[in-house]
Amino acid sequence: MNYDFVIIGTGPAGSTLSWKLAKKGFKVAIIDRATYEKQRLVNDFFCPYINKLPKYYTPVYSNQLGGNSALWHGKIYLISEKEFTQNKWCFDYKELQSFSDSLANELNINKTLLTKILNEENNSLHYSCRSDLKNVFKYLDLTKIKNIDIYKGHSPVKLNFDGERVNSVDIINNKKNIKNIIIKNSIIFCAGGLGNPHLLLNLLPKKNENIGKFLSDHAHVNLCKVKENQITNYLNILKPNIKNNLKITNINKKEDIAKVYELEKFFVGIQLDYKIDPMRKLRRYFLRISNLFLRKILNFFGFFILKFNGLIAKMGILFNKYYKYSFEFYFSQHQDPSNNVKLDIDSSDDFKLKKINVNWDLTPNDKLKIENIINYTVGPNGNLFSSKKKVDFDKNFYNYGLAGLHPSCTTRIGKNRNDGAVDLNLKLFDYKNIFVCGSSVFPENGFTNPTWTIMSLANRLSKYLEKFK
């Protein structure tokens, strides 16, 4: 079996890249662990290739074709120029923007709305441009493109080299059947912020020390609780400041606004606080159980927990006076090499690859940022909601905080191999035809949903790969 390109993963990066290359006439093989094509009501929410997780880190894992885009809300946003520039992406922002625009045209995304987003100064708002992009794989309908072969339920287990070039890859399914795939051009890893370092650390004979380092994610923190009958009032308070992309009030000094944007880089939003739902808490407990067999059994019951969660929530509103909404913020995490992904030599996944241990926590800089924002918005002198209570960091984050939605930066782009894992064209240093695409190449995760930036990067990479016919 010979292919021009082999792509690992069917998430936003892998789906976009394979779609673009196949349209140009290249023969593409897509390898994915998932066996499900349809969107499932319940996902595992527990990565099968992770052995150890920190207490407050719960990665979202979707075991279906489309990857985590199947869990995506469909909100389109490109990283802002300010963040892009200050985070040293190694190429010009206008180049990324052009690939974003061209992809938007191909996918029929509302160009007017997208332009509005891109031109918004100090952008900190989310816009949902097209809901049917929720599962990128399904939307692009990759199963019907003749130049694409999809190997469901498979994983790469060995790369075969001719010097610095990969000429074939061995893949295996869950029945332990091995196939060899010849690679004429390149192999591209698009397995996500945790999946990419997991595979690369397992498969590469020569490993760049930056692979797995600098794991960043979007922690979100509960600021305060808002009763249901207060929602309208809070929204009215926020509306006057939306045009300035700052959802807090009574700010008189322009330098204060600039400080929030440039140093804190956060946005806030109002959403249902399911964390007080006891059944939700029970399901999260199930997912923390180390015994895989027991976890799968309990996760089966989680299906019914989620299916009837709406009813449970309504019951909570009717019978639980504490059922409220939460006012939360999200922010860009400070880079730290101690937040990382490492191989666990004593454990293996279903494909006989070594599992990984995930090390993640808030840095001192992150904690200071959180405390400042809490005090700035809801503390004793808060601009949105004044509280006489002293800020309790552990209560505000470690009881209500969560990370794992957008793991990033584990194979960062860099000017050289000492600075990152991939070059400006997303090619791995030390190898001629191994590329990486996705949030793992971000030098910093930014403050917002990474999906559209990932898809724009994949569009850019496809244009580069087209040169090598």
The reported pLDDT for the residue numbered 411 is 97
The reported pLDDT for the residue numbered 286 is 57
**How far apart are alpha carbons 129 and 458 in whole angstroms?**
19
211 has a pLDDT exceeding 90: yes
Bridge-partner residues for 428, per DSSP? 422
In DSSP notation, 327-386 reads EEEEEPPPP-TTSEEEEEEEEE-TTSPEEEEEE----HHHHHHHHHHHHHHHSTT-SS--
Beta-sheet strands, E only, within 377-456? 434-436
Write down the mean pLDDT value for the chain: 76
Alpha helices in 55-92 (DSSP H): 81-86
Q: Which residues contact 243 (CB under 8 A, 6 or more apart)?
A: none
- How would residue 88 be classed by pLDDT, with cut points 50, 70 and 90? confident
240 has a pLDDT exceeding 50: no
- How would residue 115 be classed by pLDDT, with cut points 50, 70 and 90? low
- How would residue 140 be classed by pLDDT, with cut points 50, 70 and 90? very high
**How far apart are alpha carbons 384 and 425 in whole angstroms?**
44
CB atoms within 10 A of CB 143: 12
Mean pLDDT value of segment 431-460 = 93
pTM for this entry: 0.82
β-bridge pairing 266-272 and 154-162: unpaired
**Residues 390-399: tens digit of each pLDDT:** 556 565 565 5
The reported pLDDT for the residue numbered 29 is 98
155 has a pLDDT exceeding 80: yes
14 has a pLDDT exceeding 50: yes
Task: Give the range among 66-70, 88-92, 138-142, 465-469 with minimum mean pLDDT.
Answer: 465-469
Boundaries of every domain in the chain? 2-107+130-213+410-465, 220-398
**Residues 267-304: tens digit of each pLDDT:** 444 443 444 445 555 555 555 555 556 656 665 665 56
Task: Give the range among 22-26, 180-184, 195-199, 385-389 with minimum mean pLDDT.
Answer: 385-389
**How far apart are alpha carbons 158 and 171 in whole angstroms?**
7
Token digits of residue 123: 């952008």
The reported pLDDT for the residue numbered 135 is 87
In DSSP notation, 429-461 reads TT-SSEEE-SGGG-SS--SS--HHHHHHHHHHH
Q: Answer whether 361's CB lies under 8 Å from 55's CB.
A: no
5 has a pLDDT exceeding 80: yes
Q: Which helix (H) or strand (E) element contains residue 193?
A: helix 192-203
Q: Answer whether 136's CB lies under 8 Å from 156's CB.
A: no
Task: Give the range among 70-74, 186-190, 301-305, 364-368 with minimum mean pLDDT.
Answer: 301-305
The reported pLDDT for the residue numbered 113 is 59
- How would residue 387 be classed by pLDDT, with cut points 50, 70 and 90? low
Q: Check the CA dihedral 66-425-4-170 and report its sign.
A: negative
- The single-letter DSSP state of residue 134 is S
190 has a pLDDT exceeding 90: yes
32 has a pLDDT exceeding 80: yes
185 has a pLDDT exceeding 50: yes
Q: Answer whether 344's CB lies under 8 Å from 356's CB.
A: yes
| Rounded percentage of the chain residues whose pLDDT exceeds 90 | 42
What's the topology of domain 2-107+130-213+410-465?
A: FAD/NAD(P)-binding domain (3.50.50)
The reported pLDDT for the residue numbered 129 is 55
Residue (of 196, 189, 238) closest to 213 by Cα position: 196
Amino acid code (one letter) for 392: D
143 has a pLDDT exceeding 70: yes
Q: Which residues contact 218 (CB under 8 A, 6 or more apart)?
A: 330, 331, 332, 333, 403, 405, 406, 445, 447
Say how many CA atoms lie within 13 Å of 270 toward its Cβ.
19
Q: Which helix (H) or strand (E) element contains residue 196?
A: helix 192-203
Highest mean pLDDT among 318-322, 376-380, 425-429: 425-429
Burial of residue 92 (number of CB atoms within 10 Å: 0-12, 13-18, 19+)? exposed
**How far apart are alpha carbons 287 and 309 in whole angstroms?**
17
**How far apart are alpha carbons 38 and 64 in whole angstroms?**
7
β-bridge pairing 325-331 and 220-226: antiparallel
Alpha helices in 3-51 (DSSP H): 12-23
158 has a pLDDT exceeding 90: yes
The reported pLDDT for the residue numbered 432 is 94
Token digits of residue 8: 């690992």
* Cα 290–chain centre separation: 24
